[in-house]
Amino acid sequence: MLVSNFVLGFVDYYHFDTGWTSAYELQVTNLADVEINFDVEWRITSHYFGGANPKTSVTTHLAAMLNGSWYRDSRGYYSHDTMLINANESYKFHIGPWIYEGRDWSPYVDGYAVLRVPVVRSSESPYGLIPQSKTAIPVLLSAIRTERWIKRNPPPPDLVTTSQSAFPLASGKAFNEITPETQPYQHPIRVREYIDEVKRGTISPARGSLGLPEEDRVQAALDLLNQMTNDQSDLDALNRMLEASGSVVRVVGSHSQPPRDTHTQQRPD
């Protein structure tokens, strides 16, 4: 479910007399009778990295500013946080710059948070992915913006002040019920953008199949293919890459018709 927007920013106090950060917290209270694994997806809608190297990729800038692993799909940039929350307990998901970052730049990003109850791995053979519940999961939500100012004082310690305010929730209310996912959530990717990210070195081909244990490589390759967009230009680009590499594999989209067999079968006399 959509939770709320957020605004994140940072001004370095090592190069100015006063620094500033804006961070976001999402408090989730699990009102179900059982423990639930929650997933928060952070989506970035706009970004500015003043003072940073313009040749560095956006995913690298996001990781430097906000930590964690950041990826790109056909809808932009995103990251995930997951947490197992016990029944009738709360947890605060946090995203934001560190006030003592110590870098001469002024980054700002806007985005929004999505809360899900994802599928989990079954504890029984064949260990497939299954929903966590057959009914909606009741939760209490609170979205908080935390702003901090730091002023350098000679001599130390520095003066740090903090203020908090509430972000409006998308649902307009604190109590919500989340329908559990019944299958893995996919992030459609565009092949050309993925290859560009690999060339920059901002992501590793291990997201597909390389660098993984041998028994996991086939599943990883299938996961990567399942996340592709159904755009014919992307499919054509991937098939040209496969052909150039000498592979006999070709990919056909759901809107395409597989080539027909032109051979005729003759009956024996």
User: Cα(109)–Cα(107) distance, rounded to whole angstroms?
Assistant: 7
pLDDT of residue 192: 62
- For the segment 140-151, the average pLDDT, to the nearest whole number, is 94
User: Cα(215)–Cα(16) distance, rounded to whole angstroms?
Assistant: 53
- For the segment 116-124, the average pLDDT, to the nearest whole number, is 90
User: Cα(206)–Cα(216) distance, rounded to whole angstroms?
Assistant: 11
Classify residue 208 by its DSSP letter: T
Q: Which of 38-42, 81-85, 197-201, 231-235 has the lowest mean pLDDT?
A: 197-201
pLDDT of residue 228: 67
User: Cα(13)–Cα(152) distance, rounded to whole angstroms?
Assistant: 7
* Prediction pTM value: 0.72
pLDDT digits (tens, 9 = 90+) for 170-229: 999 999 999 999 988 877 766 666 666 555 555 554 444 334 444 445 555 666 676 666
Which of 11-20, 134-143, 228-237, 257-266 is predicted most confidently? 134-143
Peptide bond into 168 cis (omega under 30): no
Counting every residue written for the chain, the total comes to 269
User: Cα(186)–Cα(175) distance, rounded to whole angstroms?
Assistant: 27
pLDDT of residue 259: 46
pLDDT of residue 227: 65
Distance of CA 198 to the CA centre of its chain: 17
User: Cα(142)–Cα(140) distance, rounded to whole angstroms?
Assistant: 7
- For the segment 88-110, the average pLDDT, to the nearest whole number, is 90
pLDDT digits (tens, 9 = 90+) for 151-164: 877 777 888 899 99
* SS3 of residue 205 by DSSP: helix
Classify residue 246 by its DSSP letter: T
- For the segment 20-39, the average pLDDT, to the nearest whole number, is 96
